Structure 1
């Protein structure tokens, strides 16, 4: 019993969690995912070990619970541990107040957490510069010197505008940041992946309006855990800012706002932008939280794990590195978001023909695990079929790995398929799937200048799929801005793999809307 008292005196934090009891209610999808994130975070903070004290309230009051409730709690903890690939290593029981108090130890071998952060925001608001400074720890020169670490195309560098989705990574080892001295070095990136016990991968999207489809692909096509919305202090909230925020919210992403270029405005000007950001968030039902210290950052990370309505707002400057220590502390404590999906699935984002290797496909693993040497299905091809291929090798940020898991951004070399047979939006899957031409969805129209009726043909964005769909049937005669409705849709050019529950964006010019697939027609 003395051990329980010692843990209560230490209080919650790092790898200790108090739970009075858990029931089948906590196995519901939303709550289960939150608790799985919480458990994995405790394990990471405890360097592979988490301690749950059962029969003790959140405030540290020792209550004791019935034996039946204790056993039910253990069952829930076991399910949570399995979800994050851990196991219960020991259980200690103590009698108190006519009930039971227990200490449950949960361990995970080779604990490594990997979160994906998608950046978005208006052009020239400093998204790439922010990420460049984070991964190197170096201040910017005021002319976007750190941006070159992410802009890789010739015209991106010449114009200073990102035009393609770019990736960056940094990590933590025992709570200390692992930085890149030379972010252009593939070898350095590989070393970070090898040595870190927590990885943060950034999916840096495009702010220029003509490339909105590329931004949507970056936010929908990767298994993003958190959205990082960037707002420049000298410019404020722009139309593109609101559009990108809308996409993040439509995809149910927890959001962080970084106000950049704080060194370029007065205190009064900065306060005005903070107020503008806060008002914008409140209008869409979110709760802004101004984060000023590392302690605030830890608190905000815990709140986000429990309630994605909370939006931390952090003031930064790439010149002085103001706010970067706060961002680093927050990313350290933000947990991986888990889903209930088990089988391996990955939507293909990019396709390469590599000399000496062959066909390579890349993307982020949506669910399950992929191992080097195993056979998986790829498709659908033009005839709607799926074909077996062998995974020859797997790389993550240029580091060779033998197993990829949910959320990892990988490149997989495949044997059994040609480069010219593949297209973006196809999938790699553990199981043979069914191609889809038509489906039904609940839709919501954000903006449209006139009326939408049967025959309307917008571009639909779901995962890495970007294809024209036709509205073949509607439950209303027409839809206008602000309307909701049920629509039967058909892919115009290719069969795709989609499934019930997936959310998507559709757009045509400046007309935009969102939807959720409710029924598949095979």
Structure 2
């Protein structure tokens, strides 16, 4: 079922089964594995037809909510080891009377075994995939009164799962390793949660129950299973940080949405919420974003939003919010107007966001700029989340038409993503948990005026994981430090730079090399102080954004420069070679063609000096191209992703070679570098 898995779906559940003994269950599992390969081709064909038919019908108002097709689409999600399905109808498999009473309890935000529940708790699906060996997900059937030795092993296991999830782990209580939900009695569940709380206390972590399920046996006995989020902020950081770029056409409500999320107050319908997001007076007057704006949104360990209303005063808004948050969403508000596309591309490339939020107005629909921003995120391999705004202004027909247009764009050849309309809290939790390795694109419907849909979006952001594994993070931290400069400020005769630490670790007082200068040289500077999320700190690690106060004489700084460790011995270049693909060009690209090149935080005009193996390039052509920076040298690394644009021309590529000096004898016609 290769294509079905690529689309992000795998069959996770079947009809409810009565409780059976272990031998019978193992025998059934062997038979299922034996028949799986024989039926794979038939299932693939059926899944493809069901997927396409369902998503076209998903937005049809005449389609009933309990359609089996919708249940399949929301149910057969392929998780990052979690495997939960976003099924809106799996309540029907259980006792409806029990569900009503449990829903009332969940809304109250009660406790379970001493562990505080979130504001509302969704419901677990009927069956999960087998427990993954790696990752941050752990299945436990029960944790009732473990002895001292087993408790120590459980704590060590939780510590390992937390490291795998960069401070977050998911525990499935009442679930076998095979993924079958057997459930526990109320007393067993209370005892298991008490043990889990003791384990978390040993590590300084917090617990939040995010989903529950009642399992009714053949004898009518109701047993329970629970999904618990364990969160521990690592010792080297104040909170878990996610960077999310906000894209979309102008006048779709991007800044207004961010103002509502970060300030905690709804808009008045005339754009008052966006005034706190704008940076310049002309933005306030025109209502259009022209620069890159950073906005913070925090969550505590229980999933409650920490916004600026929790601050002592307006002067301490961000500082107080960061000090109370265990997870921070750093929104990068980008311009939507076409004339500011250069700034938008720089923010999407230079700020290295983990995810991109594409905002679309339900009232105006999908615009050409919307498709262009989607193609940019795709070219830079940034996962997309779509938010449809202004649902209070648009009619249901307009909203459904907009979502249908988005479905067409997402499923077109060459992109092949699977849209998923988020309709309830369980959908939001499942989509957030699986977003790391999924081809699914969640679609939210919200209104910044009435507040509809905002709770689901916040729940999704709370469970959304970082896009880097613990092994990758540790590997990056061991490399020589490299800090990319995205912003430059002059404060009281001092120079402050803001940006992202891509590799290594920087501490207060570290001596770094700043450059490259116009003559390809680097000059030494000292880090005086460090701020992360506007809070002073002493260390910044790979993958974290920070502001550094630099000490040095006659400092000349610009965007695109780097701060590197002395032992890295950086070498700047004017010339580099990249393996490129032309996405669109009206005529042909030849030697001497100039375009704006984006490589990380580097943004500069470059000239095509050679096309290896060809005289020219047209749309969809691939070739190795030698570029030359037009103004000053830059620090470029092999393997860096590249994007070049000029007018309607767009292309992508990857750097495969850098030249400290001009290459000799570039033979354009023979396609050789001698």
Q: Normalised by the size of structure 1, how large is the TM-score?
A: 0.80
Shift of residue 507, structure 1, vs aligned partner: 1.1
Q: Tell me the residue number matched to 1:426.
A: 561
Contact 1:458/1:506 (<8 A) preserved:
yes
Q: Tell me the residue number matched to 1:462.
A: 599
Q: Tell me the residue number matched to 1:180.
A: 308
Contact 1:135/1:170 (<8 A) preserved:
yes
- Decide whether aligned partners of structure 1 residues 108 and 456 sit closer, same or farther in structure 2, where only a CA change above 3 A counts: same
Contact 1:472/1:488 (<8 A) preserved:
yes
Q: Once the two structures are superposed, what CA deviation does each residue of 1:261-316 show, in whole Å capped at 9, x if it has no partner?
A: 11111111110101111111111221111111121111001221122x21111011
Contact 1:460/1:468 (<8 A) preserved:
yes
Contact 1:132/1:146 (<8 A) preserved:
yes
2:435 to 279, 287, 304: 304
Q: Any gaps of 5 or more consecutive residues in structure 2?
A: 1-21, 23-81, 85-116, 118-127, 136-158, 183-202, 205-229, 661-674
Contact 2:310/2:321 (<8 A) preserved:
no
Structure with more relative contact order (C-alpha pairs < 8 Å, separation 6 or more): 1
1:351 to 488, 497, 501: 488
1:503 to 641, 656, 669: 641
Shift of residue 510, structure 1, vs aligned partner: 2.0
Shift of residue 417, structure 1, vs aligned partner: 4.5
- Decide whether aligned partners of structure 1 residues 317 and 478 sit closer, same or farther in structure 2, where only a CA change above 3 A counts: same
- Decide whether aligned partners of structure 1 residues 521 and 177 sit closer, same or farther in structure 2, where only a CA change above 3 A counts: same
* 1:111-510 correspondence runs (5 A): 112-174=239-301, 175-181=303-309, 185-283=314-412, 284-307=415-438, 309-338=439-468, 339=472, 340-342=475-477, 343=479, 344-355=481-492, 358-419=494-555, 421-430=556-565, 431-475=568-612, 476-510=614-648
| SS of 1:138 mapped into structure 2 | coil
Q: Once the two structures are superposed, what CA deviation does each residue of 1:94-145 show, in whole Å capped at 9, x if it has no partner?
A: xxxxxxxxxxx99764473100000011011111111111112211111111
Shift of residue 347, structure 1, vs aligned partner: 1.3
CA-based RMSD of the aligned residues comes to 3.1
- Decide whether aligned partners of structure 1 residues 170 and 107 sit closer, same or farther in structure 2, where only a CA change above 3 A counts: closer
Q: Distance in 1 between matches of 2:284 and 2:254?
A: 14
Shift of residue 403, structure 1, vs aligned partner: 1.7
Q: Distance in 2 between matches of 1:327 and 1:440?
A: 42
Contact 2:174/2:181 (<8 A) preserved:
no
Q: Distance in 2 between matches of 1:142 and 1:234?
A: 14
Q: Normalised by the size of structure 2, how large is the TM-score?
A: 0.63
Q: Which runs of 4+ in 1 moved over 3 A?
A: 11-14, 16-23, 36-46, 49-61, 105-111, 182-186
- Choose 1 or 2 for highest CA Rg: 2
Q: Tell me the residue number matched to 2:156.
A: none
Q: Any gaps of 5 or more consecutive residues in structure 1?
A: 6-10, 24-35, 62-85, 88-104
| SS of 1:376 mapped into structure 2 | strand
| SS of 1:411 mapped into structure 2 | strand
Contact 2:298/2:305 (<8 A) preserved:
yes
Q: Distance in 2 between matches of 1:51 and 1:272?
A: 39
Q: Once the two structures are superposed, what CA deviation does each residue of 1:455-478 show, in whole Å capped at 9, x if it has no partner?
A: 111010122211111111112211
| SS of 2:436 mapped into structure 1 | helix
